[in-house]
């Protein structure tokens, strides 16, 4: 039997079959019983139960939202009042924010109940959740495997059934890759669609928030609450909805697309052009992943979609471009953590320069220091034009590949999320292999497009490991992506399966 959906929980709350306090306590108990997963960095039972009691009061007064009383949790790079916000770093191990992120505020106002703060790679820099100062998070399907990263705690907590959904962020695949490796559904929104206010910055021109849940249907209500203009984020997009009282953009787009699918009869995806990039079918793709993705594409074809071969020729360049641009931005963003204004302060220093150097050496982990040094080098005199400026030009070429494909060939692009299933914890000695694991996700962030991962199969391991299918949409087409994913999930059961170890 699968875990209850958000619709199930909303129905139970509406009919008073269960209270928000009872749901919160159940989630807290499950988080405690699965403590070995290390999915949470902090849990504050008193705060969670207080939010749940407030949600019950709203429901009793008939003022509840669809999400009122639903337990969830925040990735620990979203600043959250009452809970520590550490970004999984010693640098911020005891930081209590005086304000909360817009995404946190939106979901709190909707009446959701925060169960705690979720583990991640330090400052969201990593693809395995192993760089966390608080220790690696474990994959619920096999505790010897990584859950993916950087949003590993979000994916693991949802996959384990502790919470029905979680917030997450994605700078180079940090929602989609852990969703794929943990067998859940995750969506990264278009750059600018969700406010970045209060999300601790890694690479500001690529950071974007999203939601991880068990299914596309469960993502919709939460994503709809957080997709809106926010004047506090300089890159937030104003959709200028004509009717301020109409349903949100994502929900409206999703409902409209589903109606079109329903009217198409037994071939609901008829007329949908699905692009399959040649560059996503290389030798780096694990055979079992390739087979599962191919079967998923055939399922889309069986539902009526037209499958077309396309090319995204600059895909191989996404790795060098990303690993010049994102560290450069990280170098700038993390310069504020100097032990004086913000962050951990060393107790062994004779002068200001020594204080700053030692505070950063002690406060930042190895991967963060590596990326900061890479970024500082790329921005240094004599290398700025040769590295940073050139990488920006390549970024434009990558974005143009997608624009051309959507304008001329397809409505959505489909392929794998990760070349492999989850690897063993500790098998991260090959940096090149680790970076190549992001080959199918980085381009999306460089182009600023929306994309999602949904379960499409399992490996043949003794403990079968999940495989994810990636859907990439045109700008601000989150609702369409979710509707396509929902139609696929109506005809498959990959997303309903539960890890045997939970």
C-alpha–C-alpha distance, residues 98 and 114, integer Å? 17
Q: Which DSSP string do the residues of 164-203 spell out, in sequence order?
A: SEEEEEESSSTTHHHHHHHT-EEEEPPTTSB--TTBPPSS
The torsion of the CA quartet 316, 321, 324, 330, rounded to 10 degrees, works out to: -110
Given a contact cutoff of 8 angstroms between Cβ atoms, the answer to whether 402 and 408 are in contact is: no
User: Which residues, in sequence order, are CB contacts of 75 under 8 Å at separation 6+?
Assistant: 117, 118, 120, 151, 153, 154, 166, 167, 168, 169
DSSP H/E element including 478: helix 478-490
C-alpha–C-alpha distance, residues 53 and 65, integer Å? 15
Buried b (16+ CB within 10 A) or exposed e, 96-131: ebeebbbbbbbbbebbbbbbbbbbbbbbbbbbbbbb
CB-count burial class (<10 Å; 0-12, 13-18, 19+) for 382: exposed
Given a contact cutoff of 8 angstroms between Cβ atoms, the answer to whether 166 and 74 are in contact is: yes
C-alpha–C-alpha distance, residues 176 and 146, integer Å? 14
**Residues acting as catalytic residues:** 75, 150, 174
Question: What totals of helices (H) and strands (E) does the chain contain, helices first?
Answer: 16, 11
Given a contact cutoff of 8 angstroms between Cβ atoms, the answer to whether 196 and 208 are in contact is: yes
Q: Which DSSP string do the residues of 359-412 spell out, in sequence order?
A: HHHHHS-HHHHHHHHHHHHHTSTTTIIIIIIHHHHHHHHHHHHHHHHHHHT-SE
The torsion of the CA quartet 11, 14, 15, 17, rounded to 10 degrees, works out to: 80
Q: What is the DSSP letter of 38?
A: -
Q: What is the DSSP letter of 116?
A: E
Phi/psi region, residue 148 (left: phi>0; alpha: psi -120 to 50; beta: rest), is: left
Please count the other Cβ atoms lying within 10 Å of the Cβ belonging to residue 147. Answer: 35
Given a contact cutoff of 8 angstroms between Cβ atoms, the answer to whether 422 and 146 are in contact is: yes
Please count the other Cβ atoms lying within 10 Å of the Cβ belonging to residue 174. Answer: 36
The torsion of the CA quartet 447, 453, 459, 463, rounded to 10 degrees, works out to: 120
Please count the other Cβ atoms lying within 10 Å of the Cβ belonging to residue 498. Answer: 16
Given a contact cutoff of 8 angstroms between Cβ atoms, the answer to whether 73 and 114 are in contact is: yes
């Amino acid at each position: 039997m699968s875990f209850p959906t958000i619709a199930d929980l909303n129905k139970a709350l509406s009919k008073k079959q269960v209270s928000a306090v009872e749901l919160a306590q159940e989630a807290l108990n499950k988080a405690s019983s699965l403590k070995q997963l290390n999915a949470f960095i902090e849990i504050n039972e008193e705060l969670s139960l207080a939010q749940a009691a407030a949600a019950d009061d709203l429901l009793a007064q008939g003022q509840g939202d669809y999400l009122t009383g639903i337990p969830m949790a925040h990735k620990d790079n979203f600043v959250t009042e009452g809970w520590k916000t550490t970004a999984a770093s010693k640098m911020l191990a005891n930081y209590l924010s005086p304000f909360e992120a817009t995404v946190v505020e939106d979901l709190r106002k909707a009446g959701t109940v925060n169960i705690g703060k979720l583990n991640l790679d330090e400052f969201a820099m990593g693809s395995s959740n192993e760089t966390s100062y608080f220790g690696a998070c474990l994959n619920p399907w096999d505790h010897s495997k990584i859950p993916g990263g950087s949003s590993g705690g979000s994916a693991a907590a949802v996959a384990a059934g502790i919470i029905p959904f979680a917030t997450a962020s994605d700078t180079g695949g940090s929602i989609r890759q852990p969703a794929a490796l943990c067998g859940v559904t995750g969506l990264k929104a278009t750059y600018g669609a969700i406010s970045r206010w209060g999300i601790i910055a890694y690479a500001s021109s690529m950071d974007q928030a999203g939601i991880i849940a068990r299914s596309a249907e469960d993502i919709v209500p939460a994503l709809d609450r957080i997709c809106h203009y926010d004047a506090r984020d300089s890159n937030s997009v104003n959709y200028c909805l004509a009717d301020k009282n109409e349903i949100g953009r994502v929900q409206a787009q999703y409902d409209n697309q589903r109606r079109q699918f329903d009217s198409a009869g037994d071939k609901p995806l008829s007329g949908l052009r699905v692009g399959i990039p040649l560059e996503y079918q290389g030798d780096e793709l694990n055979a079992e992943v390739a087979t599962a993705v191919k079967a998923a594409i055939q399922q889309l074809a069986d539902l009526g979609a037209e499958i077309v071969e396309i090319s995204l020729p600059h895909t191989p360049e996404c790795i060098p471009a990303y690993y010049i641009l994102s560290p450069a931005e990280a170098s700038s963003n993390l310069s504020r953590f100097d032990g004086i204004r913000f962050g951990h302060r060393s107790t062994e220093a004779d002068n200001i320069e020594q204080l700053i150097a030692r505070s950063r050496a002690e406060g930042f982990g190895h991967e963060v220091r590596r990326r900061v040094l890479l970024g500082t080098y790329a921005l240094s005199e004599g290398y700025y034009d040769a590295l940073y400026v050139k990488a920006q030009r390549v970024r434009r070429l990558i974005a143009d590949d997608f624009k051309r494909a959507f304008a001329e060939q397809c409505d959505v692009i489909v392929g794998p999320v990760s070349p492999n299933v989850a690897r063993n914890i500790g098998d991260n000695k090959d940096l090149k292999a680790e970076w190549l694991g992001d080959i199918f996700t980085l381009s999306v962030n460089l182009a600023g497009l929306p994309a999602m991962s949904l379960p499409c199969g399992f490996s043949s391991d003794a403990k079968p490991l999940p495989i994810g299918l990636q859907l990439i949409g045109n700008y601000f087409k989150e609702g369409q992506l979710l509707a396509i994913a929902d139609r696929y999930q109506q005809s498959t059961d990959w997303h309903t399966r539960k890890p045997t170890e939970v």
